[in-house]
A and B are shown apart, each in its own frame.
Chain A
């Protein structure tokens, strides 16, 4: 089992462009979580998804950010019209699905907005 995969590992965008971050959960995991880590801060929860459903998006900024986890394929975190403040490390985690499961983290995507 290769673990949670994230790509790209590094992404550079200019202000106003779109950023798409991908997360492939561990085999057999149907729950995905996205976290953001700003410089010198801890990880902050953004969104929790199950296949084709958003369960909790209480940590998502109201504008420009969206997430999906389709029936087939990876989960996508999409940031439209990026600004410099979006520069951060974005981590994805997955779990099998039952409550109190351990979350397994991916290596993260480091987004830099020029």
Chain B
């Protein structure tokens, strides 16, 4: 079964501190992993996907198949990073996304 777990519902860090949002997945094949973000009063939008291997807004995420993880990291948090973050998985040719429960990130000034 496909499953995505985000162990932290809430995460609070100070501005300028490093931030890591955890994501673990369960999938028997080769999944595609995504991070989606929802800022206040905005719609859900793609932040990054593992096949792109790029950094968006200073965020990076590396797919670790051994640990089945896809943690989202940023070395220096900014107040505008405060948002709801969802990790998602797609696999087996099926285009549906399987989402984690989300982590609400709050950056304190």
Beta-carbon contact of B86 and A33 below 8 Å: no
Chain B positions within 8 Å of A, measured between CB atoms, are 4, 6, 32, 36, 43-46, 49, 51, 86, 90, 93-102
Given A105-B44, A108-B43, A41-B96 contact (CB < 8 Å):
no
Q: How far apart are A4's CB and chain B's nearest CB, in angstroms? A: 8
Q: A-B pairs with CB below 8 Å: how many?
A: 56
Beta-carbon contact of B32 and A56 below 8 Å: no
Q: Which residues in B have their C-beta under 8 angstroms from that of A31?
A: 95
Given A95-B95, A102-B49, A42-B44 contact (CB < 8 Å):
no
Q: What 0/1 readout, one digit per residue, does chain A (34-51) give for beta carbons within 8 Å of chain B? A: 010000111111001000
Given A42-B86, A105-B44, A108-B43, A56-B94 contact (CB < 8 Å):
yes
- Using C-beta atoms within 8 Å of the partner chain, give the interface range for chain A: 20 to 34
Beta-carbon contact of A43 and B32 below 8 Å: no
The dominant DSSP class at the B interface is loop
Beta-carbon contact of B101 and A99 below 8 Å: no
Sampled A-B contacts (22; CB under 8 Å)? A4-B43, A33-B95, A33-B96, A42-B6, A42-B99, A42-B102, A43-B97, A43-B99, A45-B98, A48-B95, A48-B96, A56-B95, A56-B96, A93-B97, A100-B32, A100-B90, A101-B95, A102-B49, A104-B45, A105-B36, A106-B43, A107-B43
